[in-house]
Structure 1
């Protein structure tokens, strides 16, 4: 199976975390890629702030102390507890696509508070999450930001109970447990993906299209939330889906499945059932537009299209209108909430009511939907937070 760029980036980041620093000239051999690919990967990760590149070497940003352990505090900042530095642990499924911004937001909030953030990556292997979290606690983390490596709908049930049993304060990131389950009593900060889908559907219908077709993955909590949000959006607007959801798969690992996705979309267009589509995620959307162009279908003239994630949508040949979850703000707000819990615990055992915080995505309007309506806000709506307190 061919390795994706995101998987290769994760290997590169893990290598740098373990080694502390690596010469760029040595990376190609260690990663098994060409020197050109290694340099391109380093540049992409450095631009995103995930690596520091100085004098022919790459290193983990702001590394202090032991190699491979990022110490991201502010000198002299302290935690407010007699000058002692507060240590936060963060478990994420990857450090590149989507979660790079979540990590950066948490890092910035920790640094601003004079705290140190240490990170471990699960590579979407939920069975490894408990050991990784235990490793963070053993390394000194006094509280945890946890985004489990769930991929399947049943993963919260099969691989979630351990989170409620952690011995330190914990905030869930971009993850929801089973309603009424043990994780409902934890703090959590999430993007409201249902609202993001509603923005996309409302925008497309406002441009004169009937209900858009959904083309979506089914391999992550975000994908599951987008699919559920699609049903909710259609119900809220009194619309019917033109066809069942078309499943999407990565073109690089399943080219035949990807081609079947494109053909299913073409069939819906040919039957007059769809003139617009919402596609999760950005990478799939860009590849679908490219393949449609090869087959003579023009975006936006023949098909209006909105992508979901807004990681690289703006860089497509035809810049893609996209729903942008507030990834950076999710990480920042979660870290601030965890720091509040840790600092409040010394004076107030309960540290206040638990919070479930939903942050609203934005719709970023670009070229792939055609001309917006007169007066259309090209970055709407403003970020808002809906907070529910749970005792």
Structure 2
């Protein structure tokens, strides 16, 4: 059964409401006075935005602030108090720490404990990590395993007969002879790309390209969604830049960035969607070194938003709902532990488009 969280019902992106909603989605709870100081506005402005969001059902008002709404389970169905949640993520220094914090926040609210274990992207075989979590006493698992290649098949086999309830984060899988769906919560990447392309088209761009991290498991999906979004707007996507970016530690990283900028000039691409923030920042620097203005000659939108706001110019970015992914996954797992016979839930959560300085109308030819 697919669900879409209330994050999908967004106010107009770029509005004060969007900034407040993004803060609530990331942190779970915000205080009006603290957020007003952070945003450089009056508490009345933030309080008005909270009121609008609460009326739309996107946040819940609490004394002095607001808290997130979403798939949550009641205390009566939260599973055994004191149960241990094992968590396996592919990185402890990028993306996943925010997911883990969201999971920890929800687990604490439900009286559960979280035990975190790190793996690596494209791991050959993560069954040992999963088994060690179970052996250490995990009553349920939140995992983001490698599901591609031979190692992925081994994990799927393990999931088909998992000894404890499992919820996938930012992954989906079907397992066993009848291809049973595994419970999951994922970012609606299609929605994120659609928002980004729509934003750029609204500013007058007609040649919108992509430059995606070749190591990201989401790159193929993001590219497919980019092609679909361009087609929906009648754009000729193949005419624009369509490139992959190697890991920043690889020796050909800088030369690849330089060649992408050269392709931007050669193809007349006026806007790029880039995964992720560090790649987008380096690409902007290289474009400026070649004499391109950002925005103007080239608008850039990052798919990440971890350090995008600190860029010069500040990056417009699609922000995945990292903490909400963690919180929702814990809620699903707790509900599964409380009721093993409930239908499988596959929850889709919309990201947020944070409009900043790196996107704008293209210069006239």
TM range (shorter): 0.7 to 0.9
Name the residue aligned to 1:185.
181
Higher relative contact order (CA 8 A, sep 6+): 2
Residue 210 (structure 2) aligns with: 214
1:277 and 2:267 aligned: no
Matched, 1:173 2:169: yes
Whether 1:309 aligns to 2:304 is yes
Q: Deviations over 1:50-80 (max 9, x none)?
A: xxxxxxxxxxxxxxxxxxxxxxxxxxx9997
* Contact 2:142–2:166, Cα closer than 8 Å, also in 1: yes
CA distance in 1, matches of 2:177, 2:213: 26
Equivalent position to 1:243, from 240, 244, 249: 240
**Residue 363 in 1 paired to residue 358 in 2?**
no
Determine the structure 1 residue equivalent to 2:143.
146
TM-score (norm 2): 0.72
Q: Where do 1:262-273 residues align within 5 Å?
A: 262-272=258-268
Q: Secondary structure at the match of 2:331?
A: helix
**What are the ranges of 5 or more consecutive residues in structure 1 without an aligned counterpart?**
1-47, 49-76, 373-391
Q: Distance in 2 between matches of 1:297 and 1:125?
A: 36
Q: Structure 2 vs 1, CA of residues 89 and 324 (structure 1 numbering), >3 Å: closer, same or farther?
A: same
Q: Deviation string for 1:158-191 (max 9, x for gaps)?
A: 6433222211110010012369987652110000
Task: Tell me the equivalent position of 1:338.
Answer: 333
2:90 alignment counterpart: 93
Q: Go from structure 1 to structure 2 and tell me whether the alpha carbon gap of 1:178 and 1:304 turns closer, same or farther (over 3 Å shift).
A: farther
- Superposed, 1:1-391 pairs within 5 Å as 84-149=81-146, 156-157=152-153, 159-177=155-173, 184-241=180-237, 242-243=239-240, 245-254=242-251, 256-272=252-268, 274-345=269-340, 350=341, 352-370=342-360
Q: Aligned partners of 2:139 and 2:326: how far apart in 1?
A: 17
> After the TM superposition, which of the residue ranges 187-196 and 159-168 deviates more from structure 2?
159-168
| Partners of 1:172 and 1:186 within 8 A in 2 | yes
- CA distance in 1 between partners of 2:266 and 2:99 (Å): 40
Aligned length: 288
1:196-240 CA distance string (max 9 Å, x none): 111111111110011311111221222222122112212332322
C-alpha separation in 1, matches of 2:353 and 2:176: 31
Query: Residue by residue, what CA displacement relative to the aligned partner does 1:115-165 show, whole Å, maximum 9, x if unpaired?
Result: 000011112252341111111111111110010145x57764464332222
Q: Is the 8 A contact 2:230 2:236 kept in 1?
A: yes
Mapped to 2, the partners of 1:277 and 1:358 lie a distance apart of 25
The question of whether the paired residues in 1 share the 8 Å contact of 2:78 and 2:110 is answered with no
Question: Tell me, what secondary structure is at the counterpart of 2:345?
Answer: strand
TM-score normalised by length of structure 1: 0.68
**RMSD of equivalent CA atoms:** 2.7
Kept in 2: contact 1:93–1:147 (CA 8 A): yes
Gaps spanning 5+ residues in structure 2: where?
1-26, 28-74
SS in 1 for 2:207: coil
Summarize the Cα distance change of 1:302–1:182 in structure 2 as closer, same or farther, 3 Å threshold. farther
**Shift of residue 288, structure 1, vs aligned partner:** 0.9
Q: What does the per-residue CA deviation read over 1:245-301, in whole Å, with 9 as the maximum and x for residues that have no partner?
A: 2111233323x34323432332332342x1111111111001111122222222112
Q: Which moved more, 1:141-150 or 1:204-213?
A: 141-150
**1:315/1:325 Cα in 2 relative to 1: closer, same or farther (>3 Å)?**
same
Q: Is the 8 A contact 1:280 1:308 kept in 2?
A: yes
Aligned CA distance change for structure 1 residues 239 and 218 (closer, same or farther; 3 Å): same
